[in-house]
């Protein structure tokens, strides 16, 4: 078993930076290494591993919001070698010009569909069966490229779970927003999601540890908020059915 000792701990006798929450995983790993006296992995190796995990998690997370944007940016990143990142072999087809063009068209369709009240909820309902398996496959493709089939399965399961959480958070919040007759709140929510996807993917590639901390907070928020959204949606559905039933009874009474 191997662990990691950060450079700051290698050069200091005390944990002078232990107060910094951002560096906490590094110091926990270093403390474990000193206690167990086990070999140390170089900082660059751990950073590569963290980056791979962050990218896999980010692709799964963002797929629940904007799957086609994720695929489009992956294709461009592989084609133009952005961030000095090489697409895994199983995902290199995304960099083909035909695939990039097709996904780019779907990006435009989704961009406008997501801005129209009610249409966005229909779009979300259809993509329940597309986003979640796609997010799982993307996470598995990133992790499995270096770590083998077993880790790919684990990444796929966890990635699919993350995608499902993001997707149902989006779909549930949009269903709640659509109860408002004005379209402005829907536009704001959609643009916020667009921005979050672009920012989250950039953060995962450039500051992977920061993204993983934010993802942890998002998962906690999802666990807390999803049951409340579900209860609200059920209340809306019951209320709508009652209105329809009352209207039918009134029509029969005439």
Rounded Cα gap, residues 226 and 9, in angstroms: 40
Res. 32: pLDDT tops 50: no
Quick one: pLDDT at residue 183? Answer: 82
Confidence of residue 247 (pLDDT cuts 50, 70, 90): low
Mind listing the pLDDT tens digit for each residue in 53-70?
Answer: 899 999 999 999 999 999
Of residues 228 and 134, more confidence is placed in: 134
Quick one: pLDDT at residue 72? Answer: 97
- What is the pTM assigned to this prediction? 0.78
Rounded Cα gap, residues 83 and 124, in angstroms: 31
Quick one: pLDDT at residue 167? Answer: 95
The region, left, alpha or beta by phi > 0 then psi within -120 to 50, assigned to residue 84 is left
Work out the average pLDDT over 163-188.
Answer: 88
Quick one: pLDDT at residue 9? Answer: 43
Secondary structure string (H, E, C) spanning the chain:
CCEECCHHHHCCCCCCCCCCHHHHHHHHHHHHHHHHCCCEECHHHHHHHHHHHHHHHHHHHHHHHHHHHHHHHHHHHHHHCHHHCCCCHHHHHHHCHHHHHHHHHHHHHHHHHCCCCCHHHHHHHHHHHHHHHHHHHHHHHHHHHHHHHHHHHHHHHHHHHHHHHHHHHHHHHHHHHCCCCCCHHHHHHHHHHHHHHHHHHHHHHHCHHHHHHHHHHHHHHHHHHHHHHHHHHHHHHHHHHHHHHHHHHHHHHC
CB atoms within 10 A of CB 121: 17
Instruction: At 36, list the tokens.
Output: 């167990």
Work out the average pLDDT over 13-40.
Answer: 50
Quick one: pLDDT at residue 33? Answer: 47
What is the largest distance, in Å, between two alpha-carbon atoms of the chain?
Answer: 87
Of residues 30 and 119, more confidence is placed in: 119
Quick one: pLDDT at residue 40? Answer: 52
Instruction: At 69, list the tokens.
Output: 């944007």
Mind listing the pLDDT tens digit for each residue in 124-173?
Answer: 999 999 999 999 999 999 987 666 788 889 999 999 999 999 999 999 88
Percentage of the chain beyond pLDDT 70 is 73
Quick one: pLDDT at residue 90? Answer: 85
Class of residue 5 by CB neighbours under 10 A (exposed 0-12, middle 13-18, buried 19+): buried
| Mean pLDDT of the chain, nearest integer | 81
Quick one: pLDDT at residue 5? Answer: 45
Rounded Cα gap, residues 116 and 39, in angstroms: 56
Of residues 16 and 183, more confidence is placed in: 183
Instruction: At 54, list the tokens.
Output: 């962050």
Confidence of residue 200 (pLDDT cuts 50, 70, 90): very high
Instruction: At 75, list the tokens.
Output: 């294709």
Mind listing the pLDDT tens digit for each residue in 206-224?
Answer: 999 899 999 999 999 999 9
Confidence of residue 188 (pLDDT cuts 50, 70, 90): very high
Confidence of residue 89 (pLDDT cuts 50, 70, 90): confident
């Amino acid at each position: 078993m191997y662990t990691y000792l950060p450079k700051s701990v290698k050069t200091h006798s005390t944990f002078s930076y232990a107060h910094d929450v951002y560096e906490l995983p590094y110091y926990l790993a270093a403390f474990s290494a000193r206690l167990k006296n086990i070999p140390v992995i170089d900082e660059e190796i751990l950073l590569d591993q963290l980056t791979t995990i962050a990218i896999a998690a980010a692709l799964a997370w963002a797929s629940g919001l904007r799957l086609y944007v994720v695929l489009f940016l992956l294709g461009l990143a592989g084609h133009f070698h952005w961030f000095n990142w090489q697409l895994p072999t199983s995902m290199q087809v995304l960099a083909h010009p035909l695939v990039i063009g097709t996904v780019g068209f779907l990006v435009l369709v989704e961009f406008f569909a997501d801005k129209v009240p009610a249409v966005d909820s229909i779009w979300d309902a259809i993509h329940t069966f597309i986003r979640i398996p796609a997010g799982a496959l993307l996470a598995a493709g990133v992790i499995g490229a270096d770590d083998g089939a077993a880790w790919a399965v684990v990444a796929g399961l966890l990635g699919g779970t993350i995608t499902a959480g993001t997707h149902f958070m989006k779909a549930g919040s949009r269903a709640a927003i659509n109860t408002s007759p004005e379209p402005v709140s829907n536009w704001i929510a959609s643009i916020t999601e667009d921005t979050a996807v672009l920012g989250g993917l950039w953060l995962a590639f450039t500051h992977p540890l920061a993204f993983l901390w934010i993802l942890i907070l998002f998962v906690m928020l999802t666990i807390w908020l999803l049951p409340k959204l579900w209860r609200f949606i059920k209340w809306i559905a019951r209320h709508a059915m009652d209105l329809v039933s009352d209207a039918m009874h009134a029509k029969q009474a005439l």
